[in-house]
Structure 1
């Protein structure tokens, strides 16, 4: 039987944190949720016992850790579940947190780097014999022309560190390719590289691992994404693809991974060819789909942190569709802007039914209202549905 103890959850403005809070509270875990803003959506949830404000982990990681320790001293919340890139900070300072009585179920920072950094993920997959697109590193501006001479189009250009399609670019043809790639290279915060373009549908395999052993596995197919270049899915469906699940388990087992992660694939349904594209070594945007399909990752992770292990979850409902409601509205605007068309995107949006939402629950409506206000503020500030400011952490400097 699980020994009940409170939990800390961070990144409270985000719907992923909100679903973590809901999951824990529905299992009688008292949750304190934190964020840099007092207007974070999770603070206004009926499922949040208390809330706190912390300094930006992008700008003041040490201060961020100190604020977590203060919450432990104040409220005795002895399990910490980071949600987004603060996972890297928590991993780096894990020994300090554990000395203060806070258990953090995450992998070491070195293992996280092997998955989060795109070039290192490529090398890791190759070492384990797992399929992943070929990459070519851009050493300097001087070798861009020679690189382009041997390339097929479209070209995929990625920063070595990305999230939610931030730092991912597509060059559609040879015309103006040199200029486009030069601009991307000069603007990049991280070392960009060229990645082989592969055909296929977007799939994700989410896992809970206990020191290299799988405890829960869940697969979804992406039906719609927030921007035309990819990123967070706004509509997806639960499914099963044994090949993808096998690859994902091999990857994380090969690293003795601990905690939750989501492995992204491009999967050609006609040929059966699959490629590992990316890994989120943390919680992921479509988390609520797994929960609503029967795999309660947040509570399973919490139980594993408290009890040391959990029984394996081997089944869930297939065919469940869940939508990020606000994100899907943003997707509609992005599609209209990108294509210059209105009727076709609107018809697609209206006709896509779902069984539930990431961000709107009728028993708890306030978080959706505050989420909408937050995104409206961001959009008016940046005029982008996918702003990058303060949204990419350099894992090498953590």
Structure 2
């Protein structure tokens, strides 16, 4: 069996190691020859190509598949329409409301003037973020009404947000981040995993620099409700914050892809990449939520990149 993995920086190395240890030949497509995953002992072929957000990415992937893989049998992903829905924060919050899953109070401005007016519906600090997943640093904070106009305008200019895709304004949830991770097979959950963030970069909410595996029945219930309602197929992460005020989980977003903290799931005994390969081969998986609790994983490189102590 041959697998082609796109370099997603953090998760790709864990994917390649997982599959390589099972004897699967893994090729990697990366934007730079300096990508660490290209130098793994388990990377059997190296390909350089455009970044996933570039126009030529799909053409590059198809070219590799035609040249290097004898037959392309199956591609195990959810259909494009549902991926777009899951990646759209406005839709996921509507989905959460229908499923009875708590979410932060959020407003979707139609203009800068509308943003300033509707911000009165929220308490400060206010979180400013795109409605759809965007590459790079994608969150800003306004600590007061006086600060909001400049922060919002500058964010729009930096990221190229216009009238049809203006950033949303959201209530800040004090507490810590939690993740619900799953592999679904045609609408049915087969693998379940959860973690809580111990440290993040930045501390107010960002990528994990240390996380710990744990299990919470209510977090599981919320995650399953959301992915069930999408009739999901493949892997996904549902991101929450545990609110320190009422101790409930509040939905942040759904990531319809392999997540950056995959290493922790692998260390805790949940081999999502290999299980997904089993699904690709047409095998029916048995349900499992069995994994080691209280396993911690650290990503010190993220702290080095940020320059934080």
> TM over 0.5, yes or no?
yes
* Alpha-carbon distance, 1:102 to partner: 4.4
Distance 2:229 2:122 in 1: 32
Distance 1:172 1:242, change over 3 A: same
The one of 146, 163, 178 equivalent to 1:203 is 178
Question: Partners of 1:282 and 1:155 in 2: how far apart?
Answer: 27
Q: Does 1:137 align with 2:112?
A: no
What is the distance in 1 between the residues matched to 2:278 and 2:231?
Answer: 19
- The alignment status of 1:222 with 2:225, answered yes or no, reads no
Matched, 1:54 2:49: yes
Distance in structure 1 (CA, Å) of the matches to 2:115 and 2:34: 45
Kindly report which structure 2 residues correspond to 1:1-398, keeping only aligned pairs within 5 A, or say none. 5-11=1-7, 14-61=9-56, 64-76=57-69, 101-162=72-133, 166-188=137-159, 189=161, 190-268=165-243, 271-331=246-306, 333-334=307-308, 345=309
Secondary structure, aligned partner of 1:161: coil
**In 2, distance between residues paired with 1:232 and 1:77?**
38
Aligned partners of 1:171, 1:159: CA distance in 2, in Å? 15
- The CA deviation at 1:301 is 0.7
Q: Secondary structure at the match of 1:160?
A: coil
Larger CA deviation: 234-243 vs 148-157: 148-157
SS of residue paired to 1:289:
helix
Q: Tell me: CA distance 1:77–1:295, structure 2 relative to 1, closer, same or farther (3 Å).
A: farther
In structure 2, distance between residues paired with 1:209 and 1:51:
30
Structure 1 residue 53 displacement after superposition: 1.8
Is 1:203–1:220's contact at 8 Å kept on the other side of the alignment? yes
- C-alpha displacement at 1:192, in angstroms? 0.7
Query: Are the counterparts in 1 of residues 124 and 171 from structure 2 also a CA contact under 8 Å?
Result: no
State TM-score, norm by structure 2.
0.91
Q: 1:327 Cα deviation (Å)?
A: 1.3
Measure the CA separation in 1 of the matches of 2:242 and 2:31.
38
Pick closer, same or farther for the CA change 1:140–1:308 going to 2, 3 Å. same
- Comparing both structures, which one devotes a greater share of its residues to helix? 1
Matched position secondary structure for 1:284? coil
1:163: how far off? 5.2
State the 1:166 CA deviation.
2.4
In structure 1, how many angstroms separate the alpha carbons of the residues matched to 2:100 and 2:265? 28
> How far, CA to CA, are the matches of 1:65 and 1:242 in structure 2?
39
Give the distance between the partners of 2:134 and 2:219, measured in 1 at CA: 21
Q: Over residues 209-247 of structure 1, what are the superposed CA-to-partner deviations in whole Å (9 max), with x where a residue is unaligned?
A: 111111101010101112244221010001001101111
Alpha-carbon distance, 1:184 to partner: 2.8
Unaligned runs of at least 5 residues, structure 2:
none
- Give how far 1:269 is off: 5.9
